[in-house]
Amino acid sequence: MTGTSISLPVTIGMLMLMGIAARNSILLVEYAIVARRDGGLDRTHALLDAARKRVRPIVMTTLAMSAGMLPIALGVGADAERSAPMPIAVIGGLFSSTVLSLMYVPAFYTVMDDLQRWIGKVFRRDLWASW
Looking up residue 69, the CATH number of its domain turns out to be 1.20.1640.10
Averaged pLDDT for residues 27-42: 92
pLDDT band at 2 (very low <50, low <70, confident <90, very high): low
- Residue 65's identity, in one-letter code, is M
Residue from 31, 61, 52 nearest 102 by CA: 52
CB of 118 closer than 8 Å to CB of 111: no
Q: What is the pLDDT of residue 131?
A: 53
Residues sharing a CB contact under 8 Å with residue 24, sequence separation 6 or more, in sequence order: 54, 57, 58, 61, 97, 98, 101
**Domain-located, residue 110:** yes
User: Among positive and negative, which fits the CA dihedral 25, 28, 32, 35?
Assistant: positive
**Domain-located, residue 2:** no
Say what the pTM is. Answer: 0.76
Count of the separate structural domains present in the chain: 1
Averaged pLDDT for residues 84-92: 86
- Residue 84's identity, in one-letter code, is A
Q: What is the pLDDT of residue 76?
A: 79
Q: What is the pLDDT of residue 1?
A: 66
The length of the chain is: 131
pLDDT surpasses 60 at 94: yes
Find the domain containing 91 and state its range.
8-123
